[in-house]
Structure 1
Amino acid sequence: MLEQKLEQLRRLFQQMDRALIAYSGGIDSTLVAKVAYDVLQEKALAVTAVSPSLLPEDLEDARVQAATIGIAHEEVQTQEMENPNYTSNPVNRCYFCKSELHDTLKPMALQRGYPYVVDGVNADDLADYRPGIQAAKERGARSPLAEVGITKTEVRELSQQLGLPWWDKPSQPCLSSRFPYGEEITVGKLQRVGRAERYLRQLGWKNLRVRSEGETARIELPPEQIKEFVFTTELPPLVAAFQEFGFLYVTLDLEGYQSGKLNRVLEMTQAAS
C-alpha cells in the first residue's frame, strides 16, 4: 500500500514536468523535495521563505537537507510581519502567512517557468484547523502528499525507506504558533521564544514547545519526559536564562506537549455558541 502511494507520488511529479516546492525544511516538505528531485532532477526547485518566525537552526537544517538531496535550493524573504492581519494574531493568522508565502512564490514560479507550486501538506493536515491550506489553494498551489493520501506517519515511513536521516525529526511549525490567538506577535517575542527553545534543545530536549502567554513561558514536553525533566534539570539556571531572554515567569505544562493545543479555545467557543 505504501509503495503504491510512493509510486503515485512519483507519477504525479512526472505529469507536472517542472515544479517549485514551498520548502520549509520540515519532514513533510523535505519528502516532497526528495521525490520531486528524484523524478525531475534539475527541473525541481526548493524555495525556503525566510522571516522572523523561522528559527535560524531550521533554516540551516533546510540548507543541509537540500544539499544532501541534491535539489536546487533558494531562499526568499517574506514580509508577513508587516501585515497587521497577521501580527494581531487572529484565529486565521495562518491564512495571512500562507497568502504572503504564495503571493511571493507564484510570481517567482511563473517567471522561472515552473507551472506548479507545491507544498508539504499531508493527508492528516486536512482534518485539522489549517486556514493556511485555503490560502494556498486559492493561489493554485498543490499538495502532492494530501492528493495521494499520505499521512504524517507514512511521511516518516517513506522518509526512512528512502534513506533520509531526518525521518524522525520532530515537527516544527513556525514560531508564531507559540502564541494564544489575540496576543500580538512581534519580532522581539518571536526571538525570545526561539532563544528559549534553542536553550532547551541544547540541554538535550528535542520534542518540545515553549508557549508564550504575556510575560509567561510555558514549557511543553512529551508527558513521559516530564518527571525526568523535573528531576534532572537544574531549574534555577533555566529560569535565569528564560528571564534573560525576556520572560518574567517560567512554568511547566503538567499535561505535556500536544500538537495544536492552542486550538482548544476554538473548540470551546464553538461548543458555547
Structure 2
Amino acid sequence: MTHAIPKEEKLRNLLRSLGGMGKALVAFSGGLDSTFLLHAAREALGDGALAATIVTAYMPEAEREDAIRAAKEMGARHLLLEVPFPEILRHNPPERCYLCKRTLFGLLREAAAAEGVAHVLDGTNLDDLDDYRPGMKALGELGIESPLLAEGLTKRDIRELSRERGLPAWDKPAGACLLSRIPHGVVVEDAELKRIDQAESFLKEIGFAAVRLRSHGDLARIEVPRELVGELVEADRRHGIDARLKTLGYRHVAVDLGGYRMGSLNEQTP
C-alpha cells in the first residue's frame, strides 16, 4: 500500500524518476501540488525543469500572480501562455473539465515540443482519485505524466513536505477555475468571470481564504466552510459584503448554509 510508504521514501523515488527524464515541462498553476512538483523537478533536473502556465479569462488574477512569484522564487524558467477563451467552453458544458484539459494540455504539448522537451508533467496526486476528475481522461489521451500520483504521494504528504521545505504554497487552499462558479449550460461572458474574480478577491482580503462565489445571474451565493458561516454574517456588518457585491451588479447576496464544498454546482436537486 502506497499510504504505508514513508513520505520521505516517496520523495526519494520521485526525485529518482524525475532525474531520469533529462528535461521536463511542469504544468504550473502556482497551487500546492504543482509548486511541490516544480520544486522537485528543479532539484532533480536543475535547468532541465521548465514551468509553463496557461493564462485564460477563467483563471483568477491572483493565481496568475502567485504562479509568477513562486516560479521566480524557485529560480525556474517560466513560460506564460496567454490563450483566448476557448469557444468550445462558451456554454459551460457538463464535460467542461475534459474539454478544457484536452485543449490546454494540447497547447502545453506543443510548447514542450518547441522546447525539445518530451515529458509534460501535471500535479495530480493519489487523493485526486477520490474526486470526480473528468479532466484526467484528457491527460491520459495526451500522454501527460503525473509523477506525484505514480509515486503514491497524497495531499497530506505534499503539504507536509512543502511545509518542511518552506515552499510558498504549502498552506494554500485548493483552487478551481472560475467556470466552476457558473451553472452548466449558461453562456459565459468575460465580464461575468471578472465580476466573480473581483467578488472572491474581496472576500479573501477580509479573511476568508477558502471561499466560492457561485453566480446565478443577479444572485451571488457565497460558500465558506460551515464553521465560518457565522463569521461571514458578522463580517458583513464590519466590511459591508452585501453592499460591496451589489456594487458589482448582484441584486441578491446569499450565504449557503450547506457550507463550502467542491463541485456544488454539480449537485442534483432531488
| TM-score scaled by length of structure 1 | 0.92
- Residue equivalent to 2:257: 254
- In structure 1, the partner of 2:127 is 124
* Fraction of identical pairs, as percent: 40
**Deviation digits for residues 5-57 of structure 1, max 9, x if unmatched?**
11111111012111001101111111111100111110010001011111111
- Partner residue of 1:82? 86
Provide the C-alpha distance between the structure 2 equivalents of 1:263 and 1:5, rounded to a whole number of angstroms: 34
Q: Alpha-carbon deviation of 1:87?
A: 1.7
Partner residue of 2:153 out of 150, 153, 160:
150
Whether the aligned pair in 2 keeps the contact of 1:18 and 1:115 (CA below 8 Å) is yes
Aligned equivalent of 2:58, options 53, 56, 68: 53
Q: Aligned partners of 2:220 and 2:80: how far apart in 1?
A: 31
Instruction: Give 1:44's aligned amino acid.
Output: A
What runs of 5+ residues in structure 1 fail to find an aligned partner? none
CA contact (8 A) 1:170 1:207 kept: yes
Q: In the alignment, what sits opposite 1:32?
A: 37
- Counterpart position of 1:140: 143
Q: Any stretches of 5+ residues in structure 2 without a counterpart?
A: 1-5
RMSD (Å), alpha carbons:
1.6
Residue 236 of structure 1: how far off its partner (Å): 8.4
Gap change, CA 1:77 and 1:15, over 3 Å in 2:
same
Could you list the runs of 4 or more consecutive aligned residues of structure 1 that deviate by over 6 angstroms after TM superposition?
none
Letter in 1 for 2:128: D
Higher-helix-fraction structure: 1
Instruction: Map 1:63-74 to 2 at 5 A.
Output: 63-74=68-79
Residue type at the aligned position of 2:111: M
- d(CA) in 1 for partners of 2:18, 2:61: 30
- Aligned partners of 2:156 and 2:185: how far apart in 1? 32
Give the TM-score of the pair, scaled to structure 2.
Answer: 0.93
Map 1:105-254; keep pairs closer than 5 Å: 105-234=108-237, 237-254=240-257
Is residue 119–residue 141 contact of structure 1 (8 Å, CA) maintained in 2?
yes
CA contact (8 A) 2:102 2:135 kept: yes
1:13 equivalent in alignment to 2:15 = no
